Structure 1
Amino acid sequence: MIRIAFGAETPLSSARTLAALMIAGSLSACAVGPDYAKPVIDVPSRWSNDKSAQSPKPAELAGWWKKLRDPTLDRLVDEAVAGNLDVASAKARVREARASYNQATGALFPSIDGSASATRSQSAGAAGGRGGAESYGGSSGRISNSLRAGLDASWEVDLFGSNQRNVEATRYSLDAAEDDLRAALVTLIGDIAVNYVDVRSYQARIALARRTAATQRETARLTRAKFEAGSASRVDVANADGQVASTEAGIPTQEAAMAQAIHRLGVLTGRAPNALAGLLTKTAPVPSPRLPLPAGVPADILLSRPDVLAAERRLAEATARIGEAEAALYPSISLTGNVATSGVRLGDLAKNSSISWSFGPSLSVPVFNAGQLRAAVAAAQARRDQQFLALHSSVLVALEEVENAIVALAQERIRYGKLSEAVRNYREAAGLARTLFESGSTSFIEVLDAERSLYSAEDALIQSRVNIAAQYIALNKALGGGWSGAVETAKPVVVDSNTGPRPAAFLRTPSQ
C-alpha cells in the first residue's frame, strides 16, 4: 500500500513532489496475480432435436411475447417491467455495484483534508505577550488568541496493483449486477406470460364445462321425459343427473386456480393481488404463438443468456480478487505530507514565516503473519474455482433447458394434432349416440360414454393448446429472451428529504 500526501507547497517542494508522483505513477503500473481470460467452453454445434439439413436460423428473441398476439399480455409486460419489486431490487443492486466501483476508483487518486482552528485562552501571569499569540494584560491574567489552518493530503500509490485489481473486480461486479437485472427481466416476462396463459386457459376450461353441463342437463331432461313415458329406467335418470353434477363440480376448482393466477399477475406488476381482476374478467382466447420458432445454435446462449453472462463476470471478479490478495504479500509504501500555518491574526496566516510543512515516505514490509496472507490468496483461488465451476454449471443448465423446451414443444404439437382428431371423432360419436337415444335405438349408456369422452377430449385439447404456449414461453426464456428496451437504473426508490444539517430537536427517537 502506498500513500502519497501533499498539500500547499513551496516551489522547491512542488518540484520534488512532482518527481515523486511521477515515480509513483510509474510504479503503479506493476500488478500481481493472474490476468483474466475468458474460458473456452465446449458446446454442441447443433441442438439434438434439430434434424434439418439447412443451417439453423438465429433465434428472434426481441419482444418474443408479442408473437403471442395478445395486446393485453403486451400491456401487462410493460406494467410489470415498470412496477415489479424484484426488478426494482435488481436495479438497486446495480446502483450499489456502480457506487462500489466509483468508490474503488476513487482510491486511485489523492485525498485531501483541510483543517482550521481558532482558540482564545486566558492564563494567570503578568500582563504582556510573546511568541505567536496576541495577549492582553489584566488583573485576572493573560488572554491570548491563536489561529491555525492546514491541509493533509495522501495518495496511495498502487505499487503492486492492489487497488487496480479492486477496481477491476468491482467493474466486473457491476457488469454482473447488470446481467442479473436482465436475468430478472427474463424471469419476470416469462412468469407474466405463463400466468396470463393460465388465466385464459382456465377461462376456456370453465366455459367448456358450462357448455358441456348445459348439454348434459338437456340430455338429463330428455332422459327424465323418457322415464316418465316408460322408455327409460330410473338408473338412466340418476346417471344423467350425476354426470351434470360431476361436470359442474370441476368449475369451482378451476375458478379458484384462475383467481390465483390473476393474483399472481397483480403481484408481478407490483400492485395489489386483485388489482387486475377487472382487466381480466372478460374472456379471451388462449394465446397461440407463431411457430416454428428458430432456436439458433447452442453457442448463442453464451451471449444471450444473462445468467450465463453474469456467471462469467463473477468468474472475472474472482480472478481479479486473487491479484488483490497477492498484492498484500509485497511491501507497501506510503507518502504523506501536510502544510500548516498559524498566527494570532488572519493576516499572519499568509506570512511565509508562519507556514510549516512536512513530506516523506514510509515503507511497510510483511515479515511474519502466521501464513494469514498466503491463506487469503488460497481462499481467493478457491473462490475463483467455485465461480469457474458455477459458470460451467450455468452453461449446462442452459443447454438442458433449451433441449427440453425444444423437445417438449415439438412433441406437444404432435399431441395437439392427435387430440384435435380425437375431438372431431368424439363429437361425431356423441351426436350420433344422442340421435339414436332420442329415437330409442340405443341405450343411455352409449350417450353417457360418448358425452363423457367428448368432454374429456375437449378439455385435454385446451390443455394441450396451453402447453404449446407454455413450452413456447419456456423456450424463449431458455434462449435468454427478455426485455430489449432501455431500463432506468439511476433513480432511487426511496427519496430522502430534509437531509441537510439541522438542529437536533428535529430528530426523532427510535420509539417515535
Structure 2
Amino acid sequence: MTMVRTLMSGASRCAMAGALLFLGACTVGPDWHEPTPVLPAIFSPPVGESAASQVDGADIDPAWWTIFDDAELSSLERRVASTNLDVAEATARLAESRAERRMVGADQYPSTNANASYARERASPNGVLSLLGTTQQQSTATIANGSPGFGPTSLPGSSGAAPFDLWQYGFDASWELDLWGRVRRAVEAAGAAVDATADLRRGVLVSALAETARDYLQLRGVQAQIAITRQNLDIATHSLSMTQLRLANGATTNLDVANAAAQVSAVQAGLPALQKQEAQLVNALSFLLGAPPRTLAAELATPKPIPPVPPRIPVGLPSELARQRPDIRSAEARLHEATADIGVAVADFYPRITLGGSFDIQALQFSGLGSWESQQYGLGPSISLPIFEGGRLHGALELRKAQQKQAAIIYQRTVLQAWHEVDDALTAYNAAQNQRSQWLDAVRQNRIALATAQSQYAQGAIDFLNVLTIQNQLLSVERALVQADTDTDIALASLYKALGGGWQSDFPIEAVDAGGRRGAAIGPPSASDMAGALAADRSER
C-alpha cells in the first residue's frame, strides 16, 4: 500500500496519464536555491583606539600583496600558484572530481557495445533439449550445409549430439529513460561536487599566498633584528673601548671593563639564534615554492626594510565575503550537492524503464557470417519497479535529507566563522599599529637616554652600570619595535586571508561550468536564511 500511495503521489507530480516517453522534463526532489548568508551591511570598527591606517569599503585588488609595494614579495607570490605542491595536489583532486562527473554524465546517453564470439559447443541428450522427446533410434540430423544437426539425437552407443561451431558478431545498445530526473539529479550533484573541489583548490591557494607573505615579512623582520643586534654590538664594543681607556687613565676599575666585556658577549650571543631563524624562513619560502632547501638563499640574502602599511586599506563590503571566501563557496556547493542527492533518492522509488536492442550475425560456419540471412535482432523496453526493499529506499531518502541538513549547518557555521575571522583580523591589525606607536616612542626616548648616559659617564658623573642598564633597555625596545613592525604587516596579510582574496587571477570562475551550480539551471536565490529554508520534506516526492 505504501508503494501504491508513492506511485499515486508521483502520478500527480508528473502527469503519468499518457506516454511515459514524453515525461523527460519531470524531475523529482527539491530544487536548488542559492542561500542568502547572514552578514552585516558594513564591517564594525575595530575594538580599541583607532590607529593611523584604516580600512574602507573599496574593492579588493586580487593581488592584495602589492599593497606592500615590495617587488620581491610580488615575485614570490606570482610563483606560488604554479609551483606550490599543495596547490598541485588540489589541482589533481579537481581533475579527479571532473572525471567522476563525466562518468556520472555518461548515464544520460545510450550505451552501445560491439561484440564478436566463437564457440565450439555440444548439446547434452540428458539436458533441457531431452524434453523434445527423442528416441534411441539411429537418426541423422543434417542441415543444408551438411553439418550434424543440433539437438539430442544421436547414433546408438554415442554419448550425445555431435559438436558444432557457432560464429557470431554484432552490437547491442541500451538507454535508461530518465523519466523522473534521477540521472539529471545525479549529474547536478556531481557538478556541484566539482564546484566544491574547485573552491577547495582556491582555498589552498589563498592559504599558500598568505603563508608566503607571512614568512617573507617575518624574514625581513628577522633580518632587521640582526641589523639592530649588530648596531648594538658596535655600541657595546665602543663602550668597552671607552672603559678600557678610562681604566688606563685610572678613572675607573676593572669592574666596569668586565661589565662592558660581558655586554659585548651577551649581544653577540643573540646573533646565532637570529641567523638560525633567517635560514629556517628562507627554507620555508623555498618549500612553499616547491624547491629544495636554500634555493632562495642567494635571492633573499640582501636585507630589505620591513614594508610599511598604507594609510587606507580596501576590504570591500561584507556582502561580498560569501563570493570571495573559497570555504564559504565550497560549503555552498556541498549544500547544493546534498540537495540534488535527495532527488536521486526520491527517483529510486519510481519505475526505471530501459530501452534495449541488439543486432547480430550468427552462423554455424565461418563462411555464413557474410550472409544477410544469418541476421538476428531483438528490440524492446524493460521496466524495473521496486516493490519490497526492506526499508532500504526509505532509509536512503532519510539519509540524504539528514546529510542536506548537516550541509546547511556547515554552511551557516562557515559563514559565521568567516565573519568572526574578519572581525578578529581587523582588531588585530588595529592593535598591532597602536602597539607599534608605543614602541616607537620608547625607542626614541631610550636613544636619548643612552646618549645622555654615555656623555655623563665620559665626564665621570655616573658609573658604568647606568650606561649598561640603558643600553640593554635600548636593545630590548628596538627589537620590540621591529617585531611590532613585522606583526603589523602580518596582521594585514592575515586580514586579506580572512577576506578570501588572491585566487581570482589564477583560478577564475569559468563563465559556464558544465553541470555545476553556475552551469545548471537553478532557481532564483532564496530571500531567507538557510536556517529556516532547509525543509527538504516540502518536495520529498
Deviation of 1:171 after TM superposition, in Å, equals 0.5
Correspondence 1:438 to 2:469: no
Distance 1:132 1:39 in 2: 74
Aligned to 2:25: 29
Contact 2:86–2:204 (8 Å) recurs in 1? yes
Deviation of 1:166 after TM superposition, in Å, equals 0.7
Distance 2:420 2:122 in 1: 83
Secondary structure in 1 matching 2:406: helix
Aligned to 2:314: 294
TM-score (norm 1): 0.83
Alignment match of 1:225 (pick from 235, 239, 245): 245
Contact 2:208–2:288 (8 Å) recurs in 1? yes
Percent identical residues: 33
Contact 1:216–1:240 (8 Å) recurs in 2? yes
Contact 2:338–2:407 (8 Å) recurs in 1? yes
Aligned to 1:390: 410
Aligned to 2:109: 109
Aligned-partner residue type, residue 31 of structure 1: T
Distance 2:360 2:19 in 1: 26
Deviation of 1:132 after TM superposition, in Å, equals 6.8
Correspondence 1:158 to 2:178: yes
Aligned to 1:341: 361
Correspondence 1:40 to 2:36: yes
Aligned 1:249-260 pairs, distance under 5 A: 249-260=269-280
Distance 2:202 2:162 in 1: 72
Deviation of 1:59 after TM superposition, in Å, equals 3.4
Please list the CA deviations of residues 374-419 of structure 1 after superposition, one character each: whole Å capped at 9, or x if unmatched: 1111111121112111111111111111111111112222222222
Distance 1:251 1:240 in 2: 18
Aligned to 2:93: 93
More deviation, 149-158/33-42: 33-42
Deviation of 1:24 after TM superposition, in Å, equals 5.5
Deviation of 1:235 after TM superposition, in Å, equals 3.0
Deviation of 1:27 after TM superposition, in Å, equals 2.6
Distance 2:62 2:311 in 1: 16
Aligned to 2:334: 314
Contact 2:90–2:200 (8 Å) recurs in 1? yes
Aligned 1:413-428 pairs, distance under 5 A: 413-428=433-448
Distance 2:55 2:243 in 1: 61
- The 1:110–1:24 alpha-carbon spacing in structure 2 relative to 1, beyond 3 Å, is farther
Deviation of 1:119 after TM superposition, in Å, equals 5.5
Aligned to 2:428: 408
More deviation, 422-431/71-80: 71-80
Number of aligned residue pairs: 461
Aligned 1:24-423 pairs, distance under 5 A: 26-49=22-45, 56-118=56-118, 130-131=143-144, 146-343=166-363, 348-349=368-369, 351-423=371-443
Distance 2:253 2:55 in 1: 66
Distance 2:46 2:243 in 1: 54
Deviation of 1:354 after TM superposition, in Å, equals 2.2
Secondary structure in 2 matching 1:78: helix
Secondary structure in 1 matching 2:311: coil
Aligned-partner residue type, residue 505 of structure 2: G
Aligned to 1:6: none
Deviation of 1:68 after TM superposition, in Å, equals 1.4
Distance 1:273 1:371 in 2: 58
Q: CA RMSD in A?
A: 2.9
Distance 2:120 2:381 in 1: 35
- The 1:56–1:436 alpha-carbon spacing in structure 2 relative to 1, beyond 3 Å, is closer
- The 1:71–1:133 alpha-carbon spacing in structure 2 relative to 1, beyond 3 Å, is farther
- The 1:133–1:110 alpha-carbon spacing in structure 2 relative to 1, beyond 3 Å, is farther
Please list the CA deviations of residues 270-299 of structure 1 after superposition, one character each: whole Å capped at 9, or x if unmatched: 111221112111222222333321222221
Aligned-partner residue type, residue 220 of structure 2: R
Deviation of 1:471 after TM superposition, in Å, equals 0.9
Aligned-partner residue type, residue 498 of structure 2: A
Secondary structure in 2 matching 1:293: strand
More deviation, 54-63/92-101: 54-63
Distance 1:240 1:107 in 2: 83
Distance 1:396 1:322 in 2: 26
Contact 1:132–1:146 (8 Å) recurs in 2? no
Distance 2:106 2:236 in 1: 77
Contact 2:46–2:427 (8 Å) recurs in 1? no
Secondary structure in 1 matching 2:177: coil
Unaligned runs of 5+ in 1: 1-21, 136-140, 490-512
Aligned to 1:11: none
Aligned to 1:509: none
Deviation of 1:76 after TM superposition, in Å, equals 1.5
- The 1:318–1:143 alpha-carbon spacing in structure 2 relative to 1, beyond 3 Å, is closer
Deviation of 1:147 after TM superposition, in Å, equals 3.2
Contact 1:133–1:146 (8 Å) recurs in 2? no
Contact 1:132–1:344 (8 Å) recurs in 2? no
Unaligned runs of 5+ in 2: 1-17, 124-137, 149-160, 510-541
Aligned-partner residue type, residue 87 of structure 2: V
Distance 2:164 2:334 in 1: 62
Distance 2:209 2:19 in 1: 54
- The 1:23–1:287 alpha-carbon spacing in structure 2 relative to 1, beyond 3 Å, is farther
Distance 1:55 1:268 in 2: 29
Contact 1:306–1:480 (8 Å) recurs in 2? yes
Deviation of 1:159 after TM superposition, in Å, equals 2.4
Contact 1:111–1:154 (8 Å) recurs in 2? yes
TM-score (norm 2): 0.79
Distance 1:400 1:195 in 2: 24
